[in-house]
């Protein structure tokens, strides 16, 4: 059997550029001389998932009692031996191999059925219907036929973490299919892991801390009864750390003989060639995961984990990832690790970094039901804001994002009006225009936040609207981008096919809409522009 807590299977990058594979307990090996700085997997989704694996493992085995203990282990990381001792009680949950007489990592013992090709474990690969109907046009079957145990473990954890709807009874992940994950990124891998660990007392909000039995954390340690209409699994039924080890899919990996891994090229004595799966896995209710932002309905108090949408993760996600924001009936809340870090840890860790800022790393699949359209990732800077001005800073950030969203929407609407006599009949993919808008204005957005950060302590919120202040500058940035994009895309048709009169009317309407006393000027509190 392959023991995931003792075997060197995690691919990492050290400060000197060395790439190697280590056991989980070795993440602090050489921390003061040549530290491990990041996970370095063969795929970006593996990298994101394995970082969450390490955060989950550490949260489960080594949660600090309070912030004082957290600071101690941040300043002086535990040795590899200390980590190994902390992980040791959970070894029975992390065995991977063909022996199904004992619990196997994230799988159901003794599961029998049709053996599917291992490529089906990857969300972007064509499914059974695509292969049967020969519609796997862009990603062809047969590209991944054999995995080494390390890549198989990464693929399995990624699949169970991001699992999307897979047909009747094939459950979605604990956070829904393709959740948005947000991780505070430190300057070493240990800093990244430890910065995203909450004190044990804080975890009581996310489950039942009294459920200390191992199968309330690792569900594969129990033989679950699979019944139609089974009870929905909620946080109150499990230990909070179960959130990192959700098992929505009933799976058993099929091991074959010796061979080379089709992903990393490593030779394995016993490689993984397929898997068995059946329906009626664990059916999860709403879970507030510590690494995922949520939307809460203020009337019904129902929650929904945030997911990645087409177009990547630009700064329009700021009010989802970095701060709370409210609509008429919806309250957006960032992942719990974000506000905890800002309120309790940022000032402390800033003193230890030599001025190097922390960033929030966001990632996830953009899913269309069972189809993975793209895997996105991106980062955002963390601003060190005094708590007495934080509400005003967040109000300014929300105004910048909402005004940009409004400007982007009106631009696309008027480009459609310029190109088509009836906007409802507009054909083509206009998302490229939205992507251009957010990309072109991203640097200016962060400059506006920096300007607001410097002005608020002296002049307060009203000072942002002074002539030449960040609100006026931002208004000008938006105006420039709106008309540049309109002029470029409204003339995208050939001259003989374009309609100059319609273009002129659309541009005039765009100008009126943009400069209206309502809308953008109201959002930015600008009287004259």
- Alpha carbon 76 to its chain's center: 29
- Interatomic CA distance for residues 276 and 98, integer angstroms: 12
Which band of pLDDT confidence, cut at 50, 70 and 90, is reported for residue 493? low
Q: For position 134, what pLDDT does the model report?
A: 40
Which band of pLDDT confidence, cut at 50, 70 and 90, is reported for residue 166? low
Per-residue pLDDT of 181-230, as tens digits, reads 999 999 999 999 999 999 999 999 999 999 999 999 999 998 766 554 46
Least confident of 219-228, 375-384, 435-444, 506-515: 219-228
167 contacts 370 by C-beta, under 8 angstroms: yes
- Kindly tell me if the per-residue pLDDT of 129 is higher than 90: no
Residues 6+ apart with CB under 8 A from 101: 109
* Average pLDDT score over the chain: 91
Closest by alpha carbon to 353, among 79, 78, 83, 74?
74
120 contacts 282 by C-beta, under 8 angstroms: no
Name residue 330's beta-bridge partners.
297
Average pLDDT over every residue of 28-39:
97
CA dihedral (210, 214, 218, 222) positive or negative: negative
Q: For position 101, what pLDDT does the model report?
A: 82
- Alpha carbon 96 to its chain's center: 26
Residues in the chain: 529
Q: For position 230, what pLDDT does the model report?
A: 65
Average pLDDT over every residue of 41-66:
97
- Interatomic CA distance for residues 127 and 166, integer angstroms: 9
- Kindly tell me if the per-residue pLDDT of 135 is higher than 60: no
- DSSP letters spanning 257-287: SSEE-TTT--EESS-EEEEEEES----B---
266 contacts 239 by C-beta, under 8 angstroms: no
Name residue 284's beta-bridge partners.
233
212 contacts 288 by C-beta, under 8 angstroms: no
Buried b / exposed e over 201-240, threshold 16 CB at 10 Å, is ebbeebbbeebeebbbbbbbbeebeeeeeeeebebeebbb
401 contacts 523 by C-beta, under 8 angstroms: no
Q: Residue 360: what are its φ and ψ, rounded to 5°? A: -105, 125
- Kindly tell me if the per-residue pLDDT of 498 is higher than 90: no
Q: What is the pTM of this model?
A: 0.93
Query: Among all chains, which residue has been given the structure tokens 């091991």?
Result: 255
Q: State the burial class of residue 177 (Cβ atoms within 10 Å of its Cβ: 0-12, 13-18, 19+).
A: buried
Per-residue pLDDT of 14-29, as tens digits, reads 999 999 999 999 999 9
- Interatomic CA distance for residues 434 and 180, integer angstroms: 20
- Interatomic CA distance for residues 387 and 392, integer angstroms: 10
- Kindly tell me if the per-residue pLDDT of 417 is higher than 50: yes
Buried b / exposed e over 98-128, threshold 16 CB at 10 Å, is eeeeebbbbbbeebeeeebbbbbbbbebbbe
- Interatomic CA distance for residues 9 and 6, integer angstroms: 9
Q: Over pLDDT 70: what percentage of the chain?
A: 93
Average pLDDT over every residue of 474-479:
98
- Kindly tell me if the per-residue pLDDT of 382 is higher than 60: yes
Query: Among all chains, which residue has been given the structure tokens 């002086």?
Result: 76
- At residue 311's C-alpha, the angle toward residues 310 and 314, to 5°, is 130
- Kindly tell me if the per-residue pLDDT of 288 is higher than 50: yes
- Interatomic CA distance for residues 347 and 382, integer angstroms: 11
- Kindly tell me if the per-residue pLDDT of 327 is higher than 90: no
DSSP 27: G
- Interatomic CA distance for residues 181 and 183, integer angstroms: 7
């Amino acid at each position: 059997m392959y023991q995931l807590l003792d075997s060197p299977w995690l691919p990492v990058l050290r400060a000197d550029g060395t790439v190697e594979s280590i056991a989980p307990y070795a993440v602090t090996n050489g921390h003061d001389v040549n530290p491990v700085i990041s996970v370095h997997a063969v795929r970006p989704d593996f990298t994101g998932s394995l970082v969450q694996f390490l955060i989950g493992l550490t949260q489960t085995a080594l949660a600090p009692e309070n912030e004082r203990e957290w600071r101690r282990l941040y300043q002086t990381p535990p040795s590899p031996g200390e980590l190994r001792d902390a992980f040791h009680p959970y070894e029975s949950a992390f065995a991977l191999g063909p022996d199904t007489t004992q619990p196997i990592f994230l799988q159901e013992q003794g599961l029998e059925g049709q053996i599917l090709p291992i490529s089906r474990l990857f969300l972007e690969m064509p499914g059974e219907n695509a292969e049967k109907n020969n519609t796997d046009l862009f990603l062809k079957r047969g590209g991944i036929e054999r995995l080494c145990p390390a890549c198989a473990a990464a693929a399995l954890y990624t699949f169970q973490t991001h699992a999307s709807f897979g047909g009747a009874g094939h459950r979605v992940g604990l956070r829904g299919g393709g959740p948005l994950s947000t991780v505070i990124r430190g300057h070493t891998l240990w800093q990244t892991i430890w910065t995203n660990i909450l004190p044990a007392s804080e975890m009581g909000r996310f489950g039942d801390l009294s459920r200390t039995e191992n199968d309330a954390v690792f569900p594969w340690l129990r033989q679950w009864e699979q019944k139609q209409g089974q009870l929905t699994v909620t946080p109150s039924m499990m230990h909070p750390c179960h959130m990192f080890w959700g098992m929505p899919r009933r799976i058993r990996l099929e091991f074959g003989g010796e061979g080379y891994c089709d992903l990393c090229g490593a030779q394995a004595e016993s490689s993984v060639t397929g898997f068995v799966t059946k329906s009626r896995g664990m059916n999860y209710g709403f879970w507030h995961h510590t690494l995922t932002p949520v939307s809460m309905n203020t009337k019904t108090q129902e929650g929904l984990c945030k997911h990645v949408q087409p177009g990547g993760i630009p700064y329009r996600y700021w009010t989802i990832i970095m701060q709370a924001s409210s609509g008429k009936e919806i309250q957006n809340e960032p992942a719990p690790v974000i506000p905890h870090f800002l309120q309790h840890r940022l000032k402390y860790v800033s003193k230890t970094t030599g001025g190097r800022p922390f960033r929030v790393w966001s990632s996830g699949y953009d899913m269309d039901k069972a189809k993975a359209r793209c895997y996105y990732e991106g980062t955002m800077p963390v601003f060190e804001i005094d708590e007495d001005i934080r509400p005003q800073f967040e109000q300014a950030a929300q105004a910048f994002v909402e005004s940009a969203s409004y400007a982007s929407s009106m631009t696309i609407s008027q480009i459609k009006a310029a190109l088509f006599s009836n906007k409802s009949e507009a054909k083509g993919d206009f998302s490229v225009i939205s992507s251009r808008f957010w990309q072109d204005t991203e640097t200016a957005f962060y400059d506006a936040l920096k300007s607001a950060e410097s002005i608020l302590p002296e002049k307060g919120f009203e000072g942002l609207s002074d002539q030449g202040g960040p609100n006026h500058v931002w208004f000008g940035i938006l105006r420039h981008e709106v008309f540049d994009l309109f002029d470029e895309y409204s003339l995208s048709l050939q001259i003989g096919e374009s309609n100059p009169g319609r273009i002129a009317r659309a541009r005039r309407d765009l100008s009126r809409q943009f400069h209206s006393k309502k809308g953008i000027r109201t959002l930015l509190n600008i009287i004259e522009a």
